[in-house]
């Protein structure tokens, strides 16, 4: 379709312009082919999600269908800045976008403003996973956790995701991490509770109701997310919570203290991950274009950190100290709480043990 449009337009061009454009096109094809030879890719193209087209590389064990950006269904995230403790991790790129459209969501920048859910054909996702599971050299032979909630809400298409969940049950080495803002009224819950799966970690992103009403208006209410997490924990799932981003709105200590009480009165998560607001420049640009409430950016300090704009260091330290104290005072194990996308200086200030260049949140 794209080629047809270009050819149609070219009938109105001068011969010199058409020649220059054809030369540029050939140069780009050469560059793209070179890039593809330098990386292992396990993915279908976004332009051909329903086509079923396959392209087999000269390495017969690898599926090399490409996305429009040359990324794979299974892709190692390697863009962590040097001064951030977080290491590389594996993305499962099964879908893109999110129906909840939270004001602060980094997917606004990642998707260049397109938050509409889009999906890779699930058959191709399962095929890519088969290749990974059957490759003893993947991840250096070590077990890995695949994050399905990095580029989308993991449960925005429950009928596809449950097939991926069940695919992980076919082996005992690697695990699937799902992250969502859906609550107990969603189809996700009935699908997961139908039978216990041992290779799936269920995680929920939570904020107090006061914050959710400001910046997460389309997401399921926080109490419904907590109830869903409790029910899955009761069903035997490894269940974790992200309290992230923590916004220092007026009365924030009271709001977050109440949230911790609600959570721990319901159940004890296997892990709680804390984080403060982060504003990558693309996120801020596309949030403004979307016309959302931008007051979430008012908390940022001047300048940039290793992960975009953040709250001032001392404010972040105050938030983490408060949250850790509140968790401990209600009996939550100190070693089961961690922080995300922070610098070594923050870990040191909190006197928390850290494994540099490792995902300290998911494992």
pLDDT score, position 55: 28
Strand order in the sheet with 271-274: 74-77, 89-92, 145-147, 175-180, 200-206, 238-243, 271-274, 337-339
pLDDT score, position 191: 98
pLDDT score, position 17: 62
Residues 98, 153: contact at Cβ < 8 Å?
yes
pLDDT score, position 38: 37
Whose tokens are 């995902």? That residue is 359
Per-residue pLDDT band for 89 (boundaries 50, 70, 90) equals: confident
Q: Rounded to an integer, what distance in angstroms lies between the CA atom of residue 351 and that of residue 167? A: 40
Q: What is the pLDDT of residues 1-43, one digit of tens each?
A: 332 323 333 334 566 666 766 666 666 555 544 444 333 333 3
Least confident piece of the model among 31-40, 80-89, 173-182: 31-40
As a three-state string, the secondary structure of the chain is: CHHHHHHHHHCCCCHHHHHHHHHHHHHHHHHHHHHHHCCCCCCCCHHHCCCCCCCECCCCCCECCCCCCCCCCEEEECCCCCCECCCCEEEECCEEECCCCCCCCCHHHHCCCCCCCEECCHHHHHHHHHHHHCCCCHHHHCCCEEECCCCECCCCCHHHHHHHHHHHCCCCCCEEEEEECCCCCCHHHHHHHCCCCCCEEEEEEECCHHHHHHHCCCCCCHHHHHHHHHHHHHCCCEEEEEECCCCCCCCHHHHHHHHHHHHHHHCCCCEEEECCCEECHHHHHHHHHHCCCCHHHHHCCCCCEECEEECCHHHHHHHHHHHHHHHHHCCCCHHHEEECCCEHHHHHHHCCCCCCCCCCCCC
Which residues are bridge partners to 241 per DSSP?
204, 272
Read off the pLDDT of each residue in 242-248 and give the average, rounded to a whole number: 98
Q: Is residue 272 scored above 90 in pLDDT? A: yes
pLDDT score, position 356: 72
Read off the pLDDT of each residue in 322-342 and give the average, rounded to a whole number: 95
Read off the pLDDT of each residue in 81-86 and give the average, rounded to a whole number: 71
Residues 197, 157: contact at Cβ < 8 Å?
no
Read off the pLDDT of each residue in 72-88 and give the average, rounded to a whole number: 77
Read off the pLDDT of each residue in 258-285 and give the average, rounded to a whole number: 96
Per-residue pLDDT band for 172 (boundaries 50, 70, 90) equals: very high
Task: For residue 276, give Cα distances in angstroms to 45, 184, 292, 346.
Answer: 34, 26, 19, 12
Indicate the helix (H) or strand (E) that contains 95. strand 95-96
As a three-state string, the secondary structure of 188-244 is: HHHHHHCCCCCCEEEEEEECCHHHHHHHCCCCCCHHHHHHHHHHHHHCCCEEEEEEC
Read off the pLDDT of each residue in 152-172 and give the average, rounded to a whole number: 98
Supply the pTM of this predicted model.
Answer: 0.81
Per-residue pLDDT band for 49 (boundaries 50, 70, 90) equals: very low
Residues with Cβ < 8 Å from 111, sequence gap 6 or more? Answer: 96, 97, 151
Read off the pLDDT of each residue in 172-183 and give the average, rounded to a whole number: 97
Q: What is the pLDDT of residues 100-142, one digit of tens each?
A: 999 999 999 999 999 999 999 999 999 999 999 999 999 999 9
Assign domain 42-350 to its CATH architecture.
Alpha-Beta Horseshoe (3.80)
Tokens (6 digits) for 102: 């939270």
Per-residue pLDDT band for 86 (boundaries 50, 70, 90) equals: confident
């Amino acid at each position: 379709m794209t080629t047809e449009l270009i050819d149609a337009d070219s009938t109105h061009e001068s011969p010199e312009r058409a020649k220059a454009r054809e030369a540029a096109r050939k140069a780009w094809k050469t560059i793209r082919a070179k890039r593809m030879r330098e990386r292992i890719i396990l993915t279908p193209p976004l332009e051909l999600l329903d086509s079923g087209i396959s392209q087999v590389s000269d390495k017969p064990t690898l599926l090399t269908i490409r996305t429009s950006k040359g990324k794979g269904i299974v892709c190692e995230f390697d863009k962590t800045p040097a001064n951030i403790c977080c290491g590389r991790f594996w993305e499962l790129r099964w879908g893109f976008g999110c129906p909840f459209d939270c004001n602060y969501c980094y997917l606004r920048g990642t998707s260049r403003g397109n938050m509409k859910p889009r999906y890779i054909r699930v058959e191709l996702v399962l095929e890519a996973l088969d290749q990974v599971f059957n490759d003893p050299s993947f991840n250096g032979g070590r077990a890995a956790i695949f994050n399905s909630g990095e580029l989308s809400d993991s449960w925005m298409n429950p009928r596809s995701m449950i097939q991926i969940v069940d695919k992980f049950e076919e082996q005992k080495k690697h695990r699937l991490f799902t992250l969502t803002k859906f609550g107990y009224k969603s189809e996700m819950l009935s699908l997961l509770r139908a039978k216990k799966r041992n290779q799936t970690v269920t995680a929920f992103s939570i904020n107090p109701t006061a914050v959710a009403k400001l910046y997460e208006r389309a997401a399921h209410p926080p109490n419904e997310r907590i109830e869903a997490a409790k029910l899955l924990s009761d069903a035997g799932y490894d269940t974790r919570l992200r309290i992230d981003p923590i916004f220092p709105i007026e009365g924030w200590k009271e709001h977050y203290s109440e949230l911790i009480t609600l959570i721990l009165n319901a159940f004890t998560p296997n892990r709680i991950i804390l984080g403060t607001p982060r504003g990558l420049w693309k996120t801020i640009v596309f949030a403004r274009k979307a016309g959302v409430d931008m007051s979430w950016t008012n908390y940022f300090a001047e300048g940039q950190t290793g992960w975009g704009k953040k709250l001032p260091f001392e404010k972040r330290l105050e938030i983490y100290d408060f949250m850790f104290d509140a968790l401990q005072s209600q009996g939550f194990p100190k070693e089961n709480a961690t922080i995300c996308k922070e610098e070594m200086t923050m870990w040191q200030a909190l006197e928390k043990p850290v494994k540099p260049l490792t995902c300290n949140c998911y494992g």
